[in-house]
């Protein structure tokens, strides 16, 4: 039977698999992203990516595993990723604000359109009444 979330098998071996603590969605992130705080694509909650033990890193990275004693902070990618992550979160936040502002404007535009429509109807009614009373005045 089909599953609403991707099965772990569809993720690469190099990806970290973890579960959103807010909505329970299964997610994957490149292992360089461990320890970062990311935004859940489903519920938009902030999720801390779990860090792997050295043994797991060894298994995942093989010969590319950091030398013993190396701190994750020494990997230049981490700073870059964290920076990128913050920028993405900032853009997503801005996008959300613009989206909600846009939908409010759409509602306002719709209200204006309805108002214009009802004014047009009023005008048509008045025009009809005027021409009716004019023809009534003529025929009397
Ligand atoms: Zn979530």
Assigned domain for 135 exists: yes
Assigned domain for 98 exists: yes
Is residue 139 scored above 60 in pLDDT?
Answer: yes
Distance from the CA of 40 to the center of ligand 1, in angstroms? 5
Assigned domain for 133 exists: yes
Structural domain for 62, as ranges: 11-139
Distance from the CA of 39 to the center of ligand 1, in angstroms? 8
Assigned domain for 126 exists: yes
| d(C-alpha 10, C-alpha 13), whole Å | 9
Q: What is the mean pLDDT of the chain?
A: 80
| d(C-alpha 75, C-alpha 21), whole Å | 27
Q: Which residues, including other chains, have CB under 8 Å from residue 66's CB and lie 6 or more apart? A: 57, 72, 74, 75
Distance from the CA of 60 to the center of ligand 1, in angstroms? 25
Assigned domain for 4 exists: no
Distance from the CA of 113 to the center of ligand 1, in angstroms? 38
CB 47 within 8 A of CB 33: no
Distance from the CA of 17 to the center of ligand 1, in angstroms? 13
Distance from the CA of 110 to the center of ligand 1, in angstroms? 33
State the CB neighbour count (10 A cutoff) for residue 74.
11
Assigned domain for 3 exists: no
Report how many domains make up the chain.
1
pLDDT tens figures, 12-21: 667 888 889 9
pLDDT tens figures, 50-101: 886 666 666 666 555 555 555 555 566 778 888 888 999 999 999 999 888 8
Assigned domain for 6 exists: no
pLDDT level of residue 1 (50, 70, 90 thresholds): low
Q: Which residues of 84-106 are buried (b: 16+ CB within 10 A; e: fewer)?
A: ebeeeeeeeeeeeeeeeeeeeee
Assigned domain for 1 exists: no
């Amino acid at each position: 039977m089909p599953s609403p979330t991707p099965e772990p098998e569809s993720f690469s071996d190099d990806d970290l698999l973890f579960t959103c603590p807010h909505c329970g969605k299964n997610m994957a992130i490149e292992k360089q992203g461990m320890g970062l705080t990311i935004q859940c694509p489903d519920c938009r909650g902030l999720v801390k990516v779990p860090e792997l033990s050295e043994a797991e890193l060894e298994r995942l990275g093989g010969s590319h595993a950091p030398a013993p004693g190396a701190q994750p902070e020494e990997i230049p990618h981490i700073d870059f990723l964290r920076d990128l992550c913050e920028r993405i979160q900032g853009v997503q936040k801005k996008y959300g604000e613009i989206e909600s502002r846009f939908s409010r404007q759409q509602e306002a535009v719709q209200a204006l359109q309805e108002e214009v429509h009802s004014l047009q109807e009023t005008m048509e009614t008045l025009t009809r009444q005027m021409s009716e009373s004019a023809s009534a005045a003529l025929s009397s």
